[in-house]
Amino acid sequence: MRSAIWFRNDLRVFDNPALSNCCANSEEVIAIYIISPTQWENHHDAKVKISLWIRSLLSLQKELEKLNIPLLILESNKYQNISSDLYGLLKEKNCKNLYFNNEYPVNELRRDRTIYKEFKEKGIGVFTFHDQVIHPPGTLKTKAGGNFSVYSPFKRKWFEQLTEEQLKLYDVPEPKTKTNINGASLSSFEKDFSTSLDGLWVVGEENIQDQVKEFLSKKGMAYKDDRNFPSIDGCSKISPYLNSGVISPKWCLLEAKKYNNNLLDEGDRGIVHWVSEILWREFYRHIIYNFPKVSMNQPFLSYTDNLKWSDNKEHLERWKAGRTGIPIVDAGIREMINTGWMHNRLRMIVAMFLSKNLLIDWREGEKFFMENLIDGDIASNNGGWQWSASTGTDAAPYFRIMNPETQSIKFDAKGKYIKKWIPELADCPVDEIHMPSEPLKYNYYEPIVDLKESRKQAIDAFGELRKD
């Protein structure tokens, strides 16, 4: 019997439940990946992200060849067409079953439910698995039986219900019976989607596994402190690979245990905090599944949709270009434009400046990040933006607004990060680097807003919501 494995954001052969189960229950296996430029554009996927995925696909193809599994490419422009296009390919290749790992945003869920229903009616078996999360969405409940909307109690429940079985890894499958089907040539796709930033990001399962191991062994214990300082190379930078599924969160957690006396939720504070970041990713997947409105351009806190956002297009464009006159904000934007990645502390500072100081709709920022980030992930990106904009899941009983100048002083005291990304300020004295008194002298920009006054306006605007 021949079956198909449909790869999505799980571009690996190790610890891949859909691939392992497909191989275990089939004599012959083919692999399928769907190229969908129109859908990628609709989802605002960054060019550098797509390129990374295509290059990762090339690496995956080589690993699949060792297993006698040909990788086929299906081009389908819209999710609405995928069911019929995929069925046609399966019939052509005489596949009796389809295996894949679940995705959780609303469009993907609708697509997959349609496929499950239609394929069942047509006699094609469909088998799905959870690989992005340890606890499938819907399995963690509050004492009242509801879904979690706050991270800390979610995390506690996550550990309470964790079993050793859930952390069991799937080995690379044994080679299958060779088929008479030739795999696709990916060279043209690699060329079509390549970008100038590709050289900054390596691909390949083993390479990324080595990267994680090196991080945990050399930097993991200092992570809780170093992660906040953008001039320090203290982050693992594995988010693009978790997003594309080149590595699994489960494998990452088990590696963390190895460097932390076989512990996850206690022990070394640096590694424990790194584990917590992986759990944040899972939390936001539960949110996007349990509260689908957040992947439909709607705020988690519905009343915040009444906020009177500014429509200042000049402010928005200057923010996008890294020309706000606020050095730490501009540095963060420029890092993203020039590398495809932005330091996590900067993501909060930059997002809060847009949504609070400029009072521009957080959805504009969410979209811009997706268009530029190599690790752009709808669940985490939406969660981060709504947290920053005070429209999402947030346990804080107060209105949160960061002052970019004080954040800059605290986390980039000597201005190393600022000077790296804003060369105009290379000669600016350290005591002025966070907010130059004469920016034009350095061919830099005057601040587009007064931080103190804009802070007050933001507090007033959100305060009006509470009155409503």
Q: What domains are there in the chain, each with its CATH number?
A: 2-131 (3.40.50.620), 133-168+204-290 (1.25.40.80), 302-467 (1.10.579.10)
The whole-number average pLDDT for the span 149-164 is 96
pLDDT recorded at residue 79: 81
pLDDT recorded at residue 80: 81
Please state, for a pLDDT cut of 90, what percent of the chain lies above it.
95
User: Is 6 a known active-site residue?
Assistant: no
Residue 276: pLDDT band by 50, 70, 90 thresholds?
A: very high
Residue 465: pLDDT band by 50, 70, 90 thresholds?
A: confident
Residue 202: pLDDT band by 50, 70, 90 thresholds?
A: very high
Convert the pLDDT of each residue in 98-124 to its tens digit.
Answer: 999 999 999 999 999 999 999 999 999
Please state, for a pLDDT cut of 70, what percent of the chain lies above it.
99
pLDDT of 305 above 70: yes
Convert the pLDDT of each residue in 53-63 to its tens digit.
Answer: 999 999 999 99
Tell me the whole-structure pTM to 2 decimals.
0.96
Please tell me which residue in 147, 338, 344, 403 is annotated as part of the active site. 344
Please tell me which residue in 274, 362, 387, 421 is annotated as part of the active site. 362
Give 461-468 contacts, CB < 8 A, sequence gap 24+.
461/307, 461/308, 461/359, 462/304, 462/307, 462/390, 462/399, 463/399, 464/308, 465/303, 465/304, 465/306, 465/307, 468/303, 468/306
How many alpha carbons fall within 13 Å on the CB side of residue 427? 8
User: Is 385 a known active-site residue?
Assistant: yes
Please tell me which residue in 280, 403, 405, 424 is annotated as part of the active site. 280
Task: Name the β-bridge partners of 129.
Answer: 101
Convert the pLDDT of each residue in 86-100 to its tens digit.
Answer: 999 999 999 999 999
Convert the pLDDT of each residue in 342-363 to its tens digit.
Answer: 999 999 999 999 999 999 999 9
User: Is 344 a known active-site residue?
Assistant: yes
Please tell me which residue in 28, 205, 277, 282 is annotated as part of the active site. 277
Residue 291: pLDDT band by 50, 70, 90 thresholds?
A: very high
pLDDT recorded at residue 362: 98
Please tell me which residue in 309, 405, 424, 432 is annotated as part of the active site. 309
Convert the pLDDT of each residue in 390-447 to its tens digit.
Answer: 999 976 667 889 999 999 999 999 999 999 999 999 999 999 999 999 999 999 999 9
pLDDT recorded at residue 401: 93
The whole-number average pLDDT for the span 355-374 is 98
The whole-number average pLDDT for the span 241-262 is 97
Q: How many angstroms separate the CA atoms of 310 and 462, rounded?
A: 13
Burial of 412 (0-12, 13-18, 19+ CB in 10 A): buried
pLDDT recorded at residue 81: 86
